[in-house]
Amino acid sequence: MYPATFEYHRPTTVDEAVRLLATHKDDAKLLAGGHSLIPLMKLRLTTPKHVVDLRRITGLAGVREEGGAIVIGALTTHYAIESNASLKSKCPMLPEAGAMIGDPQVRNWGTIGGSLAHADPAADWPAVVLALGAELKATGPKGPRTIKADDFFKDLLTTVLGPDEVLTEIRIPAPAAGTGMAYVKHPHPASRFAVVGVAAVLTASGGKCEKASVAITGVGPKAARAKGVEAALTGKALDAQTIAAAAEKAADGIAMTADLQGSVEYKQHLTRVYARRALEAAAARAKGGK
């Protein structure tokens, strides 16, 4: 099916994109990799009259380090993250998660910013940015603002971004020494979207877990932190028994919905299993200093 007719805009600056959004309001949609927007337009589930293509704006793609943080441009593709050598050593969960998204075509077109702004409940990046304690930078008519990942996702396909705001970058604090991290997922066999995905970031010091940050995606309307797991690990030795007990709390307090992927009971079970795998991998890397 073809999308409905629309006017195509190619701004070269973020300010110009913001002006177009402010002018055309609800009739406008930003285009990044197009791997969520274009299928929706073809199905006529969304029919924007104005499509604002971000890909001519320079400076929105790429990975850099700045003031002790890793900064990823919103237009950076999943593949660019997956293949970034510096991220592989400094924040390995990012390339690990990027490599698990969809197929090579999706990874070469889709962008981290598009994924976060779209907030698909089965997307991988939302859990990763929550567990890494990221901050997201957006620019609107009033200028730039910074939003904590914890405050960014509101509901199914809904974030706190205004209709006239452009997400420009994702800022991740450099992981502390002794931090291990892992992302694991149970992928849908056709799309590879997460039926459940678990991101775990553990910082070990003196044989104990100093800080635990764990987030779950895929099972409910939006990705969320697994606070029960974090509390069960903090201050404890990262041994097999503690990890197994903490993983049992992974489904606690997480909103889950029964759907074609499975019942709530099935998703709760899957969440606990994958939480244990993510925690075991993150703990091993924390101890090994990766």
Where on the chain is the footprint of ligand FAD (CB under 6 A)? 29-37, 39, 54, 74, 101-102, 106, 110-111, 113-115, 117-118, 120, 123-125, 161, 166-167, 191-193
96 or 120: CB nearest ligand FAD: 120
Is residue 49 within 8 A of residue 3, CB to CB? The reply is no
31 or 214: CB nearest ligand FAD: 31
72 phi/psi in degrees, rounded to 5: -115, 125
Shortest gap between Cβ of 233 and ligand FAD (angstroms)? 26
Q: Between the CA of residue 143 and those of 18, 159, 167, 168, 245, what are the distances in Å?
A: 10, 18, 12, 12, 46
E strand intervals along the chain? 7-9, 28-31, 50-53, 63-66, 69-73, 135-140, 143-148, 153-155, 158-159, 166-173, 179-187, 194-205, 208-217, 224-225
199 or 246: CB nearest ligand FAD: 199
Closest CA to 214 of 174, 187, 180: 180
Closest CA to 140 of 121, 120, 119, 159: 159
Burial (CB count <10 Å: 0-12, 13-18, 19+), residue 116? buried
37 or 250: CB nearest ligand FAD: 37
Shortest gap between Cβ of 17 and ligand FAD (angstroms)? 9
180 or 197: CB nearest ligand FAD: 197
- How is residue 281 written in tokens? 């991998």
Shortest gap between Cβ of 30 and ligand FAD (angstroms)? 4
Shortest gap between Cβ of 211 and ligand FAD (angstroms)? 26
Shortest gap between Cβ of 123 and ligand FAD (angstroms)? 3
54 or 214: CB nearest ligand FAD: 54
Shortest gap between Cβ of 268 and ligand FAD (angstroms)? 21
